Amino acid sequence: MVTPRPESPEQYLYFQNHLCLPMQLKKLETGNASFDHISHGGLPQGRTTLVAGSSGSAKTLFGAQFLALGIELFDQPGVFVTFEEQIDDIRKNLKSFNWDIDTWEKEGKWIFVDAAPKEEIIVAVGDFDLSAFRIRLERAVKKCNAKRVVIDSIGSIFTQFHEETHTIRRELIQVALTLSRLEATSIITAERLEEYGKITRFGVEEFLTDNVIILRNVLYNEKRRRTIEILKFRGSDHEKGENPFTINPEKAIVIIPLSAMNLKHVSSSERVTSGIPALDEMLNGGLYKGSINLISGAIGAGKTLLVANFINGIREKKERCLLMAFEESSEQLYRNAAGWGIDFKQLEEEELLKVICLYPEISSLEDHFINIQEVVKNFKPDRIAIDSLSALARTSSDKGFREFIIAFTSYLKHQEITGMFTSNTPLLAGGTSDTEGNISPITDSIILLRYVEMSGEMQRSIAVLKMRGSKHDATIRKFSITDEGAKIGQHFEGISGILTGNPMLISSGRD
């Protein structure tokens, strides 16, 4: 039989993808759930993956986490080779993540191979090889029967022997071959100089080509944004594109898997009350369970009042609600709610309500997301209210905020949590904000609260702009805030232009 031979690069690729290689190579679960998710199962097993990133992009942490989780979750020993940082420094730096490396070393589960620069001056006279390093690496791997190996970072060996880059390049190919013979799943980290450019500084990717991951730490609009991108896994599937990640003090690197979000969540037809019967009527029976609802309005238009009622609505079915307040202290919130006849304290005592007040600036959006997930996991709320989303948007770039919203709403829908978010409009009478531009396509309903100036008087209005999958009241109604809470009145008859902020009386009595 004649084996077909590729004649062009395209054909070669075709052969490789369709004829020669089995498409799904086995993967090794790393134990970092979010990474295993975007990589469709982990790192290619028994192979070497290049992790490239600029300085400060968390390469070392990525590698260390890979080893630590291997020991903690799968009892797989690991070898950590350092070409750059001194071992003592690494031990110290990693202590903050509660990884007990000292003990693991004593138990023979974690072995350091020290290849960091020495104090002494090194000169090169004549040809050399890195066989000593290879032998030491092999010994360490065999000694602890390592399943995982990290080499951090390969770029610094070029700096250690800066006049001999040609030799180093030749020798690193040998190291790569040794690793593949040892069949350990390995990570080699490498420096890169620009966030978007050549993969690595010394062209390591030329011989470590099969699997490449890029970590980025981009400064944009005075804000840092960390992302991870799996550039390629030869012969194996993965999510494409950049996914934001954050460094959590307990869980180290946590990725927010944007590209892996799916729209397969269940859409409930069950309704829950908004806490205001008249508003439920406008919504044709209340909010959908597990829906995302946005309240848009200028300052003082009654957004927090609607949120308070939304929270009070949990009484009906003994639901639980989490309130994330980014603008007011809990004291203020309790006082305001009490002023509208709603008792937050009692709800909290019954453990139906949990109020968390934070300044949005204390952490990045990604961290807020992780924190909220953690609270949701423990508290298991049926509802979540965020007051306000606009305050949260301050902490991040536009792109980052959009991604957060997508990830967050998708998360809530998976958990079937009914969400109510508020958003500030910059103008008193109307208009929209950037926050809304980002979120409105994702919401199931939008409720507008607007000021209306009529005959020298400020009045409030309420309208349901959108209600996915249901009819709703299309009228703009009077809305007032009284001692007993929210009152929804008749619709503004014979007036147009409320939404644009220029209300005008229409004289023709059409009604």
Partner 1 sequence: MHVFQLYINGHSLNSIEAVDTLLKICRENLNGDYQLDIIDIQKDPDKAEEAGIIAIPTLIRMKPTPVNRIIGALNVRSRVLAGLGIPSMLK
Across 485-497, b (16+ Cβ under 10 Å) vs e yields bbebeebbeeeee
Residue closer to partner 1 (CB basis): 140 or 462:
140
Q: Classify burial at 18, counting beta carbons within 10 Å of its beta carbon; exposed 0-12, middle 13-18, buried 19 or more.
A: exposed
Residue closer to partner 1 (CB basis): 164 or 328:
164
The distance of closest approach from Cβ of residue 78 to partner 1 in the complex, given in angstroms and rounded to an integer, is: 17
Which letter does DSSP use for residue 406 in this model?
H
The distance of closest approach from Cβ of residue 167 to partner 1 in the complex, given in angstroms and rounded to an integer, is: 9
Q: Within 174-193, which residues bind partner 1 (CB under 8 A)?
A: none
Residue closer to partner 1 (CB basis): 125 or 263:
125
**Degrees (nearest 5) of the Cα angle 300, 302, 308?**
125
Alpha-carbon separation of residue 358 from 48, 128, 136, 326, 385 (angstroms) = 43, 59, 51, 5, 14
Marked catalytic residue, from 327, 366, 403, 436: 327
Among 101, 115, 204, 352, interactor with partner 1 by CB under 8 A: 115
Q: How far apart are CA 345 and CA 338, in angstroms?
A: 9
Marked catalytic residue, from 84, 171, 191, 366: 84
Both structure tokens of 468: 């996915």
Residue closer to partner 1 (CB basis): 127 or 483:
127
- Residues in contact with partner 1, shown as a per-residue x/- string from 392 to 421 under the rule CB under 8 A: ------------------------------
Both structure tokens of 222: 């005075």
Q: How far apart are CA 67 and CA 408, in angstroms?
A: 30
Stretch of 69-77, 114-122, 292-300, 477-485 lying at the interface with partner 1 (CB under 8 A): 114-122
Is 84 tagged catalytic?
Answer: yes
Beta bridge partners, 446, equal 294, 466
The distance of closest approach from Cβ of residue 118 to partner 1 in the complex, given in angstroms and rounded to an integer, is: 6
Residue closer to partner 1 (CB basis): 139 or 234:
139
Q: Within 359-378, which residues bind partner 1 (CB under 8 A)?
A: none
Residue closer to partner 1 (CB basis): 190 or 353:
190
Query: Which among 360, 406, 358, 89 is positioned nearest to 243, based on CA atoms?
Result: 406
Q: Within 117-176, which residues bind partner 1 (CB under 8 A)?
A: 118, 120-133, 135-136, 139, 157, 160-161
**Which residue bears the tokens 């805030």?**
481
Stretch of 108-116, 260-268, 363-371, 373-381 lying at the interface with partner 1 (CB under 8 A): 108-116
Q: Within 433-452, which residues bind partner 1 (CB under 8 A)?
A: none
Query: Which among 407, 372, 50, 72 is positioned nearest to 231, based on CA atoms?
Result: 50
The distance of closest approach from Cβ of residue 164 to partner 1 in the complex, given in angstroms and rounded to an integer, is: 9
Residue closer to partner 1 (CB basis): 86 or 332:
86
Is 327 tagged catalytic?
Answer: yes
- Residues in contact with partner 1, shown as a per-residue x/- string from 4 to 23 under the rule CB under 8 A: --------------------
Where is 89: in which H helix or E strand?
Answer: helix 87-95
Q: How far apart are CA 385 and CA 369, in angstroms?
A: 14
Residue closer to partner 1 (CB basis): 9 or 126:
126
Stretch of 116-124, 292-300, 342-350, 394-402 lying at the interface with partner 1 (CB under 8 A): 116-124
Q: How far apart are CA 280 and CA 272, in angstroms?
A: 9
**Which residue bears the tokens 């978010």?**
421
Both structure tokens of 84: 């750059």
For the chain, what's the residue count? Answer: 511
Q: How far apart are CA 28 and CA 281, in angstroms?
A: 53
The distance of closest approach from Cβ of residue 134 to partner 1 in the complex, given in angstroms and rounded to an integer, is: 9
Query: Which among 507, 454, 497, 505 is positioned nearest to 476, based on CA atoms?
Result: 497
The distance of closest approach from Cβ of residue 84 to partner 1 in the complex, given in angstroms and rounded to an integer, is: 13
The distance of closest approach from Cβ of residue 359 to partner 1 in the complex, given in angstroms and rounded to an integer, is: 48
Among 51, 69, 116, 176, interactor with partner 1 by CB under 8 A: 116
The distance of closest approach from Cβ of residue 80 to partner 1 in the complex, given in angstroms and rounded to an integer, is: 14
Under rule CB under 8 A, residue 79 binds partner 1: no
Among 89, 102, 107, 114, interactor with partner 1 by CB under 8 A: 114
Both structure tokens of 120: 């002494």
Residue closer to partner 1 (CB basis): 128 or 359:
128
Q: How far apart are CA 476 and CA 473, in angstroms?
A: 8
- Give the count of residues interacting with partner 1 (CB under 8 A): 24
The distance of closest approach from Cβ of residue 145 to partner 1 in the complex, given in angstroms and rounded to an integer, is: 17
Q: Are 220 and 213 in contact (CB under 8 A)?
A: no
Q: How far apart are CA 242 and CA 231, in angstroms?
A: 9
Q: Which residues bind partner 1 (CB under 8 A)?
A: 114-116, 118, 120-133, 135-136, 139, 157, 160-161
Residues serving a catalytic function are 84, 327
